[in-house]
């Protein structure tokens, strides 16, 4: 019976020899039936197998199903090359430079298909710190399993046989609540320093204890993150912040010494009572939304993380005599410029961040037509939610947030009654200026 099962799992192609044979765990032991796998990933595996290839759902999806969590996506690993995968699916495209993968579109699903990776050798291109730069080396399933970072991620599920293939005792480690590195941890962190962050994220998300052999080098090797491309750091930080366990992740980042320099002066923010309270409230709010299946905004998240940096710069500029609003915009640009050196925040997300910050002074105006204009702003809701976090953390008076809560829900007559009397300065600013002669227009005027 076992021989037949192994034959079916490895049918057609014999895997290259490995240090040990994998455990082939039947559905009666692990309980993952094929109907729990997305229809798109099932069809990809079936099509590739029909074309004579090995194909498995792999990694995080298998891990999550084993612990009773709902996978975000279903990736597939195969012995087919990227070109062979692309030929097998009309709606597919090859992406990636460091390691080529194929995106296969199945209805509303996009399945990421990777070819089994081969063992690194002396010809593998690395930087001076040992980080792998070019990795289009294909190999066997056993080699692919050895190349994965943690044992919990080196699990393969065959939708045809419903068997889990386990090369590195990953199922046992999950049962023991342990996150264990495959191979020598220091060497694996040098190959890809992002694994330092991934270890923290997975441990926090899955409720696992990082194996001491993998945990010990984290603090001392944190400097390797300086050599990681900003875009990759941004992607990993976004995964961490939207994991549904961001509070625990940020706390563990600090415990492991990984927060220093990752976000500019985040270590300082977390040591200031007001800044830490604000950040933790924002992250707790995000975690709650993720767990309830609601959407999250990267712009809102990073706006909260960096707000107290903006405040600090803003206060310095105003103290130096700069006008309030120009000082805010200058502070915003300074913080985002420094941030860009660490994390490649996209232009669109940076625009969302600045919109949220720029709205904050406008909430202070509660007279005349300004409140009505603010309600019409496209980013009003995000700015309002941000305002409530500021009030809840004690940065501003709670009364301001409560006023805006009532104002946006009130009818026309009630809104008019809520408006505060205009001050003399407000009226003076609203007085229409005489239009200058056509030949004397000042193009630097705010008008």
Please pick, among 64, 73, 235, 267, the residue that the annotation labels catalytic: 73
The pLDDT value recorded for residue 417 is 93
Please pick, among 75, 158, 166, 192, the residue that the annotation labels catalytic: 75
Q: What are the tokens at 84?
A: 């062979």
Secondary-structure class of domain 229-421 per CATH: mainly alpha
Nearest-5° Cα angle at 365, 364 to 370: 140
DSSP lists the bridge partners of residue 23 as 166
Q: What gap in Å lies between CA 52 and CA 13, rounded to an integer?
A: 8
Please pick, among 79, 135, 144, 149, the residue that the annotation labels catalytic: 149
Per-residue pLDDT 10s for the chain (447 aa) are 343 344 344 444 433 334 568 999 999 999 999 999 999 999 999 999 999 999 999 989 999 999 998 898 999 999 999 999 999 999 999 998 767 899 999 999 999 999 999 887 666 666 666 666 666 688 999 999 999 999 999 999 999 999 999 999 999 999 999 999 999 999 999 999 999 999 999 999 899 999 999 999 999 998 888 888 888 888 888 888 898 998 888 888 888 888 766 664 566 666 666 778 898 899 999 999 988 888 889 999 999 988 988 998 999 999 999 999 999 999 999 999 988 777 788 899 999 999 999 999 999 999 999 999 999 999 999 999 999 999 999 999 999 999 999 999 999 899 999 998 876 555 555 555 555 554 443 434 333
Buried b (16+ CB within 10 A) or exposed e, 330-346: ebbebbbeebeebbebe
For the question of residue 149 being annotated catalytic, the response is yes
Q: Residue 66 — left, alpha, or beta (φ > 0 → left; ψ -120 to 50 → alpha)?
A: alpha
Secondary-structure class of domain 1-183 per CATH: alpha beta
Domain ranges of the chain: 1-183, 229-421
Residue with tokens 């080529």: 100
Instruction: Output phi, psi for 41, to 5 deg.
Output: -70, -35
Q: Compute the CA torsion angle 125, 260, 256, 244 (nearest 10 deg).
A: -90
Q: What gap in Å lies between CA 342 and CA 233, rounded to an integer?
A: 8
The pLDDT value recorded for residue 8 is 42
């Amino acid at each position: 019976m076992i021989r037949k099962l192994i034959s079916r799992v490895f049918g057609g192609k014999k895997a290259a020899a490995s240090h040990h044979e994998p455990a082939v765990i039947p559905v009666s032991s692990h309980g993952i039936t094929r109907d729990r796998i997305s229809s798109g990933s099932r069809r990809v595996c079936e099509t590739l197998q029909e074309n004579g290839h090995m194909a498995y759902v792999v990694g995080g999806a298998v891990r999550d199903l084993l612990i009773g969590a709902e996978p975000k996506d279903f990736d597939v690993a195969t012995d087919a090359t990227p070109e062979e995968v692309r030929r097998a699916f009309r709606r597919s495209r090859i992406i990636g430079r460091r390691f080529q993968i194929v995106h296969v579109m199945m209805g509303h699903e996009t399945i990421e298909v990777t070819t089994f990776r081969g063992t690194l050798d002396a010809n593998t291109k690395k930087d001076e710190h040992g980080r792998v730069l070019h990795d289009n080396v294909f190999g066997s399933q056993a080699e692919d399993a050895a190349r994965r970072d943690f044992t919990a991620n080196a699990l393969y599920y065959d939708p045809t046989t419903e068997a889990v293939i386990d090369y590195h005792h990953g199922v046992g480690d999950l049962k023991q609540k342990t996150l264990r590195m495959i191979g020598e941890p220091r060497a694996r962190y040098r190959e890809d320093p992002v694994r330092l962050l991934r270890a923290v994220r997975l441990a926090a998300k899955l409720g696992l204890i990082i194996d001491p052999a993998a945990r010990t080098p984290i603090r001392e090797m944190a400097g390797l993150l300086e050599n990681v491309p900003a875009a990759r750091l941004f992607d990993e930080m976004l995964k961490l912040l939207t994991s549904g366990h961001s509070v625990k992740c940020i706390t563990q980042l600090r415990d492991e010494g990984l927060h220093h320099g990752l976000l500019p002066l985040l270590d300082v923010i977390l040591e200031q009572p007001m800044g830490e309270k604000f950040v933790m409230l924002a992250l707790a709010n995000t975690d709650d939304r993720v767990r309830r299946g609601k959407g999250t905004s990267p712009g809102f998240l990073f706006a909260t993380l960096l707000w107290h940096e903006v405040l600090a710069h803003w206060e310095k500029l105003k103290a130096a005599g700069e006008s309030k609003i120009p000082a805010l915009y200058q502070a915003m640009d300074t913080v985002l410029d420094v941030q860009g050196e660490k994390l490649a925040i996209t232009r669109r997300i940076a625009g969302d961040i600045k919109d949220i910050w720029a709205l904050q002074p406008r909430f202070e105006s509660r007279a005349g037509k300004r409140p009505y204009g603010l309600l019409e702003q496209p980013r009003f809701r995000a700015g309002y939610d941000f305002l409530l976090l500021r009030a809840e953390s004690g940065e501003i008076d709670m009364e301001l947030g409560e006023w805006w809560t009532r104002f946006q829900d009130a009818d026309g007559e009630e809104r008019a009654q809520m408006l505060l009397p205009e001050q003399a300065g407000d009226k003076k600013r609203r007085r229409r200026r005489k239009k200058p002669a056509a030949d004397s227009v000042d193009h630097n005027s705010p008008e």
